[in-house]
Amino acid sequence: MDRNEKIIRSTDYDALSCRISACKKHYLDDKYLQNVIHGLEKFLRFENKISSRRVFNGIVNSVKLPIINRGTYIRTKSIDYVIEEFLREFDGQQVQIVNLGAGSDTRAFQILASRENINWVEFDFKDSTKLKKAIITTDQVLANAVGVDFVPVDDFEIFYTELDDTLISEKYKLISIDLRDIETLKTIISTELDLNAPTLIISECMLCYTESSVSTNIIQSIRSHFTKGVFAIYDPIGGEDNFGSVMIDNLKIRNISMPSLLEFNTLEKYSQRLQELGIKD
Ligand SMILES: C[S@@+](CC[C@H](N)C(=O)[O-])C[C@H]1O[C@@H](n2cnc3c(N)ncnc32)[C@H](O)[C@@H]1O
């Protein structure tokens, strides 16, 4: 795994620790979160042998400031709201939901466990999809939710070493890809997605870590394949205020940048960016 990829992947641990904190403080309720945490505890050590305990403790024990918990609440609920609206609009039809950079997101479990007629597709880097596959397949509840076989495991290390990074069921696909690789993205869109189903594309804090020209290509490549669809993009914009400059400084320490943050620094500019790609507000 290249270093840049590892750094970007670590942002999922930030997102997860924010969700854990928001749940602890009862801002959110996520009945699958504990299963994901148990899985992470089992498997994180095989991908990060030296500091996995410290990383794991950092994820599960951190208590965030109220401003962060509130932000996590708004972020989570706003995407949930778009999903609910989308499902309501196409009620009874076969639909598709594609999550770009899904990380440890638990919505697939929540929604697929209780709804029919949905194909749920998640993309992330291969080490992230492998870890998520391990977590899902060795947990009866998570495996049932997405319709894959539960795998009882005696030796987690052997299991993890031999595991691949893709998981496919009738209603759920977990696909490994570096989304910046546009040619592979186009191939996967053509071969793995249903191009005729009404489709909701979610990008929750994924595009923001990508060079703007590349994230524009990602949006454009997806857009050009579908006739009916909705984009739900949750990206930080702006960054000139106090909150933004603290965030930028904190990310810089970890060698993380958000290339589109200051370029599309208002809602109008971000919206115009999408309109120029043929996406209506
Ligand atoms: C901040 S996390 C957000 C995770 C999840 N969407 C959420 O909001 O909880 C960003 C995720 O996007 C993934 N990601 C970022 N750039 C990516 C790329 N080029 N290809 C695949 N996945 C990517 C990271 O690995 C990580 O899981």
Q: What percent of the chain has pLDDT over 70?
A: 99
With b meaning 16 or more CB within 10 Å and e meaning fewer, what string describes 19-34? bbbbbbeebbebebbe
Other CB atoms within 10 Å distance of the CB of residue 15 = 20
Q: Is residue 268 part of a domain?
A: no
Cβ–Cβ under 8 Å, residues 9 and 59: no
Say how many Å lie between the CA of residue 154 and the centre of ligand 1.
Answer: 31
3 state SS of 15: helix
Compute the distance between CA of residue 255 and CA of residue 266 in angstroms, rounded to an integer. Answer: 24
Q: How do residues 12-27 score in pLDDT, each as one tens digit?
A: 999 999 999 999 999 9
Q: Is residue 193 part of a domain?
A: yes
Q: Is residue 244 part of a domain?
A: no
Is 124 a pocket residue for ligand 1 (Cβ < 6 Å)? yes
Q: What is the mean pLDDT of residues 97-110?
A: 98
Q: What is the CATH number of the domain that holds 107?
A: 3.40.50.150
- For ligand 1, atom 2, the nearest C-alpha belongs to 12
What end-to-end distance do the CA atoms of the chain give, in Å?
A: 37
Cβ–Cβ under 8 Å, residues 143 and 150: yes
Q: Is residue 17 part of a domain?
A: no
Is 178 a pocket residue for ligand 1 (Cβ < 6 Å)? yes
Q: Which has the minimum average pLDDT: 45-54, 120-129, 164-173, 246-255?
A: 45-54
Q: Is residue 68 part of a domain?
A: no
pLDDT band at 2 (very low <50, low <70, confident <90, very high): low
> Which range marks the domain in which residue 223 is found?
78-235
Q: How do residues 60-89 score in pLDDT, each as one tens digit?
A: 998 999 999 999 999 999 999 999 999 999
Question: Best substitution site from 104, 206, 256 to test ligand 1's pocket, by max atoms within 8 Å of Cβ?
Answer: 206
Question: Best substitution site from 125, 210, 251, 261 to test ligand 1's pocket, by max atoms within 8 Å of Cβ?
Answer: 125
Cβ–Cβ under 8 Å, residues 262 and 240: yes
Q: How do residues 124-145 score in pLDDT, each as one tens digit?
A: 999 999 999 999 999 999 999 9
Say how many Å lie between the CA of residue 210 and the centre of ligand 1.
Answer: 10
Q: Is residue 136 part of a domain?
A: yes
Residue 101 is assigned to a ligand binding site: yes
pLDDT value at residue 228: 84
- For ligand 1, atom 13, the nearest C-alpha belongs to 101
Domain count of the fold of the chain? 1
pLDDT value at residue 124: 98
